[in-house]
Amino acid sequence: MSLFDTAPLQEDKKRPLAERMRPERLEDFIGQEHILGPGKPLRRQIERDELTSIILWGPPGVGKTTLARLIARVTSCEFIPFSAVLSGIKEIKAVMADAERLRRMGRRTILFIDEIHRFNKAQQDAFLPYVERGDIILIGATTENPSFEVIAALLSRSRVYALRGLTVPEIVGLLERALPVIGMEAPEELLEQIAIYSNGDGRQAYNTVEAAAAASPGGILLAQAVQDAMQRKVLLYDKSGEEHYNLISALHKSVRSSDADAALYWLTRMLEAGEDRLYIARRLIRMSIEDIGLADPRALEQAIAGMQAVHFLGIPEGDLALAQTAIYLCAAPKSDAAYRAICAAAQDVEHTTAEPVPMNLRNAVTGNMKAWGYGQGYQHAHNFEDAVVDMDCLPPSLAGRRYYYPTARGMEQRIAERLDEIRKLRSQGSQK
Q: Per-residue pLDDT for 12 more than 70? A: no
Domain co-membership, 254 together with 291: yes
Confidence bin at 238 (pLDDT 50/70/90): low
Query: Which of residues 281, 305, 331 is at a domain's end?
Result: 331
Q: For residue 102, what pLDDT is reported? A: 78
Q: Cβ neighbours of residue 287 under 8 Å, at least 6 residues apart?
A: 252, 255, 256, 303, 329
Domain co-membership, 294 together with 213: no
Peptide bond into 356 cis (omega under 30): no
Domain co-membership, 115 together with 37: yes
Domain co-membership, 150 together with 180: no
Confidence bin at 2 (pLDDT 50/70/90): very low
Confidence bin at 234 (pLDDT 50/70/90): low
Residue 312: helix, strand or coil by DSSP? helix
| Count of domains for the chain | 4
CA distance 215 to 220: 10
- What are the tens digits of pLDDT across the range 357-396? 999 999 988 998 989 999 999 999 998 888 888 888 999 8
Residue 144: helix, strand or coil by DSSP? coil
Backbone angles phi, psi at 85, to 5 degrees: -75, -35
To the nearest 10 degrees (0 to 180), the angle between helices 260-272 and 242-256 is 160
Residue 45 falls within a domain, yes or no? yes
CA distance 2 to 9: 13
CATH for 408: 1.10.3710.10
Domain co-membership, 40 together with 155: yes
CA distance 183 to 195: 19
Residue 16 falls within a domain, yes or no? no
Q: For residue 199, what pLDDT is reported? A: 82
Tell me what percent of the residues of the chain surpass a pLDDT of 70: 93
Residue 283 falls within a domain, yes or no? yes
Q: Which of 93-107, 191-205, 243-257, 265-279 has the lowest mean pLDDT?
A: 93-107
- What are the tens digits of pLDDT across the range 104-161? 887 888 989 988 888 888 888 888 888 888 788 999 999 888 988 899 999 999 999 9
Q: For residue 92, what pLDDT is reported? A: 75
CATH for 72: 3.40.50.300
Query: Which of residues 331, 351, 381 is at a domain's end?
Result: 331
Q: Per-residue pLDDT for 11 more than 80? A: no
Domain co-membership, 305 together with 354: no
Residue 140 falls within a domain, yes or no? yes
Residue 54 falls within a domain, yes or no? yes
Pick the residue with more confidence: 240 or 348?
Answer: 348
Domain co-membership, 256 together with 325: yes
Average pLDDT over residues 403-419: 93
Q: For residue 207, what pLDDT is reported? A: 94
Do 67 and 207 form a contact (C-beta atoms < 8 A)? no
- What are the tens digits of pLDDT across the range 317-329? 899 999 999 999 9
Q: Per-residue pLDDT for 298 more than 90? A: yes
Pick the residue with more confidence: 229 or 64?
Answer: 64
Confidence bin at 344 (pLDDT 50/70/90): very high
Do 111 and 92 form a contact (C-beta atoms < 8 A)? no
Domain co-membership, 191 together with 151: no
Q: For residue 9, what pLDDT is reported? A: 44
- What are the tens digits of pLDDT across the range 240-273? 667 788 899 999 999 999 999 999 999 999 888 7
Query: Which of residues 141, 162, 183 is at a domain's end?
Result: 162
Domain co-membership, 216 together with 133: no
Residue 113: helix, strand or coil by DSSP? strand
Q: 251 burial class (0-12, 13-18, 19+ CB within 10 angstroms)?
A: buried
Domain that holds residue 296: 242-331
Beta-bridge partners for 11: none
Domain co-membership, 201 together with 84: no
Backbone angles phi, psi at 79, to 5 degrees: -120, 120
CA distance 159 to 344: 41
Domain co-membership, 325 together with 341: no
Residue 369 falls within a domain, yes or no? yes
Residue 2 falls within a domain, yes or no? no
Residue 8 falls within a domain, yes or no? no
Q: Per-residue pLDDT for 6 more than 70? A: no
CATH for 210: 1.10.8
- What are the tens digits of pLDDT across the range 37-77? 988 989 999 988 888 899 999 999 999 999 999 999 998 88
Domain co-membership, 150 together with 58: yes
